[in-house]
Amino acid sequence: MSDTPEFEPTIPGALPPGERAPAAPRELDAVYDIPVQVSAVLGRATMQVSQLLKLGRGAVVELDRKLGEAVDIYVNNRLVARGEVVMVEDNRLGITMTEIVKADRGI
């Protein structure tokens, strides 16, 4: 068993882990247990297939981000936040959310 506490994602202004908003309607209870896919994108690169096929072990692909620049955080392929990469345990990475992205749904 590790002495390191289990990582809990944090969002500024969010409730502590395990707590729910007091005025949450009961009909939303069914939604809380739905799994979602969370992805962090460090950056992107565009290249031709011929360049891709020339890549080998040790090749470096330059991304469109600079060192220290925020990474994009997606939930179910939708951009929801930006954050910074942090080390959670000895060999594990995590993301600290620094900005929540407001979605323009047009509705």
Give the helix ranges, DSSP H, for 36-85. 49-54
Amino acid at 89: E
> Residue 7: its pLDDT value, please?
47
The percentage of residues in the chain with a pLDDT greater than 90, rounded to a whole number, is 58
pLDDT in tens, 16-47: 556 655 555 677 788 888 999 999 999 999 99
Domain annotation for the chain: domains and CATH numbers: 40-100 (2.30.330.10)
Contacts of 10 (CB under 8 A, 6+ apart): 96, 97
In this prediction the pTM is 0.64
